[in-house]
Amino acid sequence: MTEKQMIIFMTVANTGSFSDAAELLSISEPAVSKSIKALENEFGCEFFVRGKGKKILTFTDKGEIFLDIVKRWQYLIDDAKGLSDPGKETFRMTATSSISQVFLPGICRKLYTSHPSLNLSIDSHHTRSSTELVSNNHYDLAFCSFIIPNQKVIGKALFKEELVIICSGEMAKKYPDPRKMVPEKRMFISWDTDSFVWEHFESGAADGLTLTSNTVDGIEYYLTEMDMWTLVPVSYAEYIARIFGLSVIPMKEHLQYRTTYSLQAAHNSNPLIEEAIEIMRDEAKKYDGIELI
């Protein structure tokens, strides 16, 4: 395993395709494919579930594990680089996938405006990983959708947002009433324990789950190519609908919510933490269906 291979792996993971990674790294697509295949052969497992045109649909279980390993390698590299420029501060943030895609760009933009010399490092992790990494000082701040008890970490509720249905335009025209959505066509994403209430009882199909996921990565494929529907937070719904031309259907009754929390190490008093949290609240105000806490 070489540094170049790890950089290629991370680029594929971040872009979601071999071709996009090749373009970003200014190398050929076969070179990207060869590098990933060499890594998979070295460890005797596949890291990605591949779709048409080598588009990455999602990670395999071992791919998720290897992604965390490569991310830890990146932290060490960042720390080492700091030795040559000790005067430049690094602020590290992570968030669940949907939050990182929707909110982190705006937070980074405003932090850079206020602190032009700031070194920012952003990432994406599930809540359980984020909690552990924050407690071990890998990140200054994390944003997640629930709290895992940890004496080394302080969690703060920031806002709650409605869960809405997102699906193709054709499905939205066919089923304008969310209560009449076809249960067998749903993709279940476990945002919060409360979402089980609507999913299992309002749809009347407690035993009809056909596809479950703990990530939004690749969600557009299932909604468009497999003509499925799912519940997502309103902020992410607007984001993905704009990019992929999908439709958003608000829940008419029995509303469900996702709460977004901030996480920081109990001993970390970096003033940028509160600044980033306030920016996050300001970003959240832009969306109907979000209520600050």
Q: Are both 129 and 61 inside the same structural domain?
A: no
pTM score, whole prediction = 0.68
Rounded distance between C-alpha atoms, residue 26 and residue 147, angstroms: 41
Query: What's the pLDDT tens digit per position in 44-82?
Result: 988 888 766 556 667 888 888 888 888 777 766 666 655
Tell me the per-residue pLDDT of 223-249, one tens digit each, with 9 for 90 and over: 998 889 998 999 999 999 999 999 999
C-alpha distance from residue 4 to each of 12, 24, 93, 110 (Å): 12, 14, 24, 32
Residue 98, domain member (yes or no): no
Residue range of the domain that includes 9 = 3-65
Taking residues 95-110, what's their average pLDDT? 92
- Could you give the number of structural domains in the chain? 2
CATH at residue 47: 1.10.10.10
In a domain, 84, yes or no: no
**Do 231 and 160 share a structural domain?**
yes
Q: For 29-33, 78-82, 184-188, 241-245, which range has the lowest pLDDT when averaged over its residues?
A: 78-82
Residue 91: inside a domain: no
| pLDDT score of 209 more than 70 | no
DSSP notation for 93-115? EEE-HHHHHHTHHHHHHHHHHH-
**First and final CA of the chain: distance in angstroms?**
46
Higher-pLDDT residue of 50, 284:
284
For the chain, the average pLDDT equals 83
Q: What whole-number percentage of the chain has pLDDT above 90?
A: 34
